[in-house]
Amino acid sequence: MDRWPRPLRFAIAAAIVLTVLAVGRQRDDPGDADAPAAAPTATVGLLAAAPVALDALAPDFELETLDGGRARLSQFRGQTVVLNFWASWCPPCREEMAEFEQLYRARRAAGDLVVLAVDYRPLDSPAEVRRFLATFAQRNGAPLTLPVLFDTAAGEVAERYGVAPRGARQATLPVSFFIDRDGVLRARVFGPVYGDLLLEQVAIADAAGG
């Protein structure tokens, strides 16, 4: 004589089968809560293979920002862009930064211009940049508010823009590029940009945008 009544044996067997099926479905389910999150698809660095040339689209890139986010050059379409390559140890870079900030603040309300300050990482560091920014705030009575970006450790974006070759032990900075509202490079200046020269180059990019 069986130890368990037949109806109970059937109920136990059914429960085991359902449990096995549920575990199998859970393992195969791509939406499993314990599954690792998908890696970001955005790439830090260059996003376009095109060379840098006047009257052509400026090569797109995405870089990390001072606050830990990311910024992409193409996200500023519709605005005149002053793209400045600099370093915290560079005296002319330090001097022109106040004028860049003044220009950025003057046109910030209109939202038609942005200054992107790309730090040359191969010869600089985030810690040194933050020390410079603290000094800037003390000297000017207000913090720097324009976007500060960090190039890749190898200086990938600076290399493409002709600022310095990859692996360079020195770089001649600053270098500035003036890009119109359509993303087209209209002017570039090797060396500091002050006063009338800055306004003239910005005016060229302003007038060229569609």
Give, for all 210 residues of the chain, the pLDDT tens digit: 444 454 444 444 444 333 333 333 333 333 333 333 333 445 799 999 889 999 999 999 999 999 999 999 999 999 999 999 999 999 999 999 999 999 999 999 999 999 999 999 999 999 999 999 999 999 999 999 999 999 999 999 999 999 999 878 889 999 999 999 999 999 999 999 999 999 999 999 999 977
Q: To which CATH superfamily is domain 45-208 assigned?
A: Glutaredoxin (3.40.30.10)
pLDDT value at residue 24: 38
Beta strands in 59-144 (DSSP E): 61-65, 70-72, 80-86, 113-119
Rounded Cα gap, residues 143 and 116, in angstroms: 15
Structure tokens belonging to residue 120: 């040359």
How far is Cα 77 from Cα 41, in angstroms, rounded to an integer?
Answer: 21
Residue boundaries of the structural domains of the chain: 45-208
- Distance from C-alpha of 86 to C-alpha of 117, rounded to nearest angstrom: 7
DSSP readout, 1-36? --SS-HHHHHHHHHHHHHHHHHHHHHHH-TT-TTSP
Tokens for 178, please give them.
Answer: 């003036």
Distance CA 63, CA 137 (A): 24
